[in-house]
């Protein structure tokens, strides 16, 4: 994430948890012979002053972190708004609306949705459905950037991300 963001030293907090297997957090921990606790992460979040920091989640809001906690429990404890990243294609309406509903049940603020994938007629219809039924702003539609470089990502963000300034209120 640091490489793609173009963030210099001191702009990315490297503390936290790193697990080697690309599976759900609870399973990655189990396969590594450890377990995850959210309390240290909550303490770390509480120690950070100021605003404008971003936490990258893993696997969706209802993914288990351990035997009792889901990622949404951590999000709720950190009191951060969520920017949902979803696919642009088939299946995204249901997946995204379920995420919106789960966050809404916990009163977690939703900053918006960024859709990633082909920008075609299906993506346009999916965007409209997510905005209408989810009552949330789609703040960006990002095509697959190949190769994905910091420069290409920055160009997309400068021209296509949050062109209406919707995210500004969440970054204060």
The pLDDT of residue 83 is 95
Estimate the crossing angle of helix 38-47 against helix 71-78, to 10 degrees: 30
The angle subtended at Cα 121 by Cα 162 and Cα 148, nearest 5°, is 50
Residue 137 to residues 116, 161, 164: CA-CA distances in angstroms? 15, 12, 10
CATH dotted code for 81-172? 3.40.50.300
Tens-digit pLDDT string for the chain (172 aa): 667 767 766 666 666 778 888 899 999 999 999 999 989 888 887 777 665 667 777 789 999 999 999 999 999 998 889 999 999 999 999 999 999 999 999 999 999 999 999 999 999 999 999 999 999 999 999 999 999 998 999 999 999 999 999 998 887 6
Q: Where are the domains of the chain?
A: 1-79, 81-172
Distance CA 34, CA 140 (A): 37
Q: Are 84 and 113 in contact (CB under 8 A)?
A: yes
pLDDT (0 to 100) of residue 80: 84
Residue 37: closest CA among 73, 81, 76, 62: 73
| Radius of gyration, alpha carbons of the chain | 17
């Amino acid at each position: 994430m640091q490489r793609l963001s173009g963030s210099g030293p001191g702009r990315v907090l490297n503390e936290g948890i790193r697990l080697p297997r690309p599976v759900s957090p609870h399973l990655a921990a189990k396969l590594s012979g450890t377990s995850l606790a959210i309390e240290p992460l909550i303490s770390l979040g509480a120690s950070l002053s100021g605003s404008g920091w971003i936490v990258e989640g893993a696997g969706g809001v209802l993914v288990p972190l351990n035997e009792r906690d889901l990622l949404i429990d951590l999000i709720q404890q950190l009191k951060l708004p969520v920017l949902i990243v979803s696919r642009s294609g088939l299946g995204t309406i249901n997946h995204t609306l379920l995420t919106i509903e789960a966050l809404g049940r916990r009163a977690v603020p939703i900053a918006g949705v960024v859709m990633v994938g082909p920008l075609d007629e299906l993506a346009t219809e999916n965007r409209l459905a997510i905005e209408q039924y989810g009552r949330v702003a789609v703040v960006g539609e990002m095509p697959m950037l190949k190769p994905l470089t910091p420069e290409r990502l920055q160009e997309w963000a400068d021209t296509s991300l949050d062109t209406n300034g919707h995210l500004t209120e969440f970054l204060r």
